[in-house]
Amino acid sequence: MKRSLALVLLAGSALAGPALADDAALRAAAKESFEAIPMQPPALPSGAAITREKVDLGAMLFFDPRMSKSGLFSCQSCHNVGLGGVDGLETSVGHGWQAGPRNAPTMLNAVYNIAQFWDGRAPDLAAQAKGPVQAGVEMNNTPDQVVATLNSMPAYVESFQAAFPGENDPVSFDNFALAIEAFEATLVTPNSKFDQFLMGQDGALNEQEKRGLQAFMDKGCNACHNGINMGGNGYYPFGLIEKPGADILPEDDRGRFAVTETADDDYVFRAAPLRNIAITAPYFHSGKVWDLKVAVDIMAESQLGEKLDEATLDDIVAFLGTLTGEQPEVVHPILPVRTGATPKPAPM
């Protein structure tokens, strides 16, 4: 009996050896293109300190619909923390029930992006926070109205004083944006199966997921989707080899060209970060594709000029599923009580 058990264990070790070696080789190759998300939130690119007071204030501002002219829309409306940081719509709905021009990208792990928005027009999260508040199709408010609203509620004034100590006038539109930036910087999703694999945990990925990772690299997907966020760190033409149809790539949305007015940026967009991609449908800036397998198929043809077989598509989709990390659990903050001086919501 003991001899039989020893033979079984020996056979198991012999089988495990090549598998572990294969894991090590695949991990080494993957680490040339990708990084694991740290368990702790990163420092802001600006070097600004992330304090508890700023984060708590930023959370209140993120969830408060009174930052919009109508009193109906908040950052959370389009970037739902419980839905992977998106709203699950093709394009977001804003002031006057207008549909926005693009799909809302996730704010989870957005701190790792080279810039914000599909066209990269905001250099950081603070600049991004100012955009939707003022956009007529989104929250349709003004900086002065936002500041007046905040100053009308003593609890907000106290929170700004605590978050920005020593400032003569801490309640400002700039500080509004900096507080939201600090909060959003904490919305990271570490410890995905892929992160565990990168950090040395053999067996974190199953065989299909490992085939998908290998295919992802072999086919060249990592040329655009790399780094800590698996994308979000560079700009590329959509339709590098073959342009997709106008339903997926609308002709009137020329991407980064609207920012730079440079011919080379025509139909150029920031590469979508692939973290949590399995839970953030629909896909692309147009939001027209709801199935991840279809999205991968389109990208292979339009960016790589290759028609992938069904098995390879399934493998890559399985790998992309391993990029879903631990979702942030955020308690909805209790918001300051309005006063008689608080501006009333404007009808839409």
138 included as an active-site residue? yes
CB 248 within 8 A of CB 287: no
Set 90, 138, 181, 209: catalytic member? 138
Of 334, 332, 336, which Cα lies nearest the Cα of 81?
332
Distance CA 230, CA 54 (A): 28
CB 17 within 8 A of CB 202: no
Spacing of C-alpha 101 from chain mean position: 18
- The dihedral region occupied by 12, where left means phi > 0, alpha psi between -120 and 50, and beta the remainder, is alpha
Spacing of C-alpha 226 from chain mean position: 14
The catalytic residues are 138
